[in-house]
Amino acid sequence: MGSGKTSIGRRLADRFGLAFVDVDREIEARTGASINTIFECEGEAGFRARERATLAELFDGGRTTVIATGGGAVLDAATRALLHARGFVVHLHVSVEQQLARLARDRTRPLLAGPDREAVLRRLAVAREPLYVEASHLRFDTDALTTAEAAARLGSLLDIRWRQAPGQGPAPHETPA
């Protein structure tokens, strides 16, 4: 949350002339229900199955696409494997302090509805970080960057790397300087 997945993803898609899909919005469009409603009716397991199926369909579509997943997509082992095997996954890393600043006025995040947002974000970071490492090919820190700066720097990094080794992305788990 607050790393810039959707905003940066859209800018990267524009830069490279690719389609952009936010998986959560895609699931909502396909079902006619909000993510919260899906969680309420089908539980997390039902939502994760929909998320995995949607990603598989996007990969099978034969079209290069910039995809933004929710931060919890990595919780499902099959989804992690699918992402790593079929995509080039960039983990947009953000510190808890920066998340708190960016999400200070955001009241739309169910996981942050309780009184101690910082504790929730710290718990999520500890639990999810190893899963992000497992699923991703590149870790990119967005802490000190605006959306425009992050998209420009990440876009340049990807462009340079792919020109150096056509068909190859940056080295696994490379953290840009």
Q: Closest by alpha carbon to 9, among 95, 116, 88, 63?
A: 88
Contacts of 8 (CB under 8 A, 6+ apart): 92, 142, 147, 150, 151, 154
CA-CA distance, 140 to 130, in Å (whole number)?
A: 15
Structure tokens at 55: 């990603």
Measured N-to-C along each axis, helices 77-86 and 117-135 cross at an angle, to the nearest 10 degrees, of 50
All domains of the chain, ordered by start, with CATH? 5-157 (3.40.50.300)
Q: What is the pLDDT along the chain (177 residues), one digit of tens a residue?
A: 889 999 999 999 999 999 999 999 999 999 999 988 998 899 889 999 999 999 999 999 888 899 999 889 999 999 999 999 998 999 999 999 999 999 888 777 777 788 899 999 999 999 999 999 999 999 999 999 999 999 999 999 998 877 765 555 444 444 443
